[in-house]
Amino acid sequence: MVIMIQHLAHVECEGENVTGVRFLVKGELGAIQYLLYMIPHDFEPTHVMSADLGYHSPKPRYSDDTPMFDKCEYLDGKPCFYDGSGLNAMRVSNLLHNCGPDVMWKDLEEYYIETFGELK
């Protein structure tokens, strides 16, 4: 199991260049990501926006699933069946802001188990 943070410089979101952070829990069965963006504003503090909570799976997760990427960097170059949700990301954002990073990582590990069946 690998837990990592990836800095995403200058990602375009809603027409603006933003900085992003991807939190990953990567195992033998796939990867879970939580993605957030930091959107700068001229005269206001930076806005933090939860963008996505999702999975990268080397196998289809439902009957008509098709790969989103032929080679996924989070699956060691294997095809990637991806799905994610911005709405589900809000839960993780609330945990990070209200309970801290340890609770957030625990939640991501639990989502990995929920998605792939075991933490492996």
Q: What are the tens digits of pLDDT across the range 44-100?
A: 767 788 889 999 999 998 888 889 889 999 999 999 999 999 999 999 999 998 999
Q: DSSP character for 113?
A: H
pLDDT at residue 101 greater than cutoff 80: yes
Q: DSSP character for 75?
A: G
pLDDT at residue 40 greater than cutoff 70: yes
Q: Is 35 exposed, middle or buried (0-12, 13-18, 19+ CB in 10 A)?
A: buried
At 10, is the pLDDT very low, low, confident or very high (cuts 50, 70, 90)?
low
Q: Domain limits at 45?
A: 2-116
Interatomic CA distance for residues 74 and 27, integer angstroms: 9
